[in-house]
Structure 1
């Protein structure tokens, strides 16, 4: 099995955007919502597997699911 490297999407996207800005371009990513998925797609185009570890949306979803489970199981608000 081949070793896969993964990167936090924001690290690579920041590098790409910095390079584009240095070239006089003004890139916009996620202008219509959370830029996480467009950033991840940019990485996939480069052949990089995004690592969701740094994605705050996943942490928020997990917290919401845990709160819902607590409310169902313990009757807590």
Structure 2
């Protein structure tokens, strides 16, 4: 039987709505919510995946841009007509 998967943010959203319905006011810290949300998921027995983390996506994007610059040089500015 294949392992069942869930979007981690959906799980966090369900938990938050449940807490709000109970009259609570949950927060995920003062900064980026990724780390506290990952801890919440781990507490629920769910292993968060890195590809769901926007910071990971941004880091990959920046690294690819750096590689392109090192291979092809600085990109030409866009041409506006």
Relative contact order: is structure 1 or structure 2 higher (C-alpha 8 Å, sep ≥ 6)? 1
Aligned residues: 75
Partner residue of 1:43? Answer: 41
Please tell me whether the aligned partners of residues 30 and 38 of structure 1 are also in contact (alpha carbons under 8 angstroms): yes
- 1:14-58 CA-partner distances (Å, limit 9, x unpaired): 100100000000011032x11011101111111111133332222
- Tell whether 2:14 aligns with 1:15: yes
Q: CA RMSD in A?
A: 1.8
TM-score relative to the length of structure 1: 0.82
Q: Report runs of 4+ in structure 1 exceeding 3 Å deviation.
A: 2-6
Greater fraction strand = 1
TM-score relative to the length of structure 2: 0.78
SS in 2 for 1:26: coil
Where does structure 2 lack aligned partners over 5 or more consecutive residues?
Answer: 76-81
Q: Greater Rg, structure 1 or structure 2? A: 2
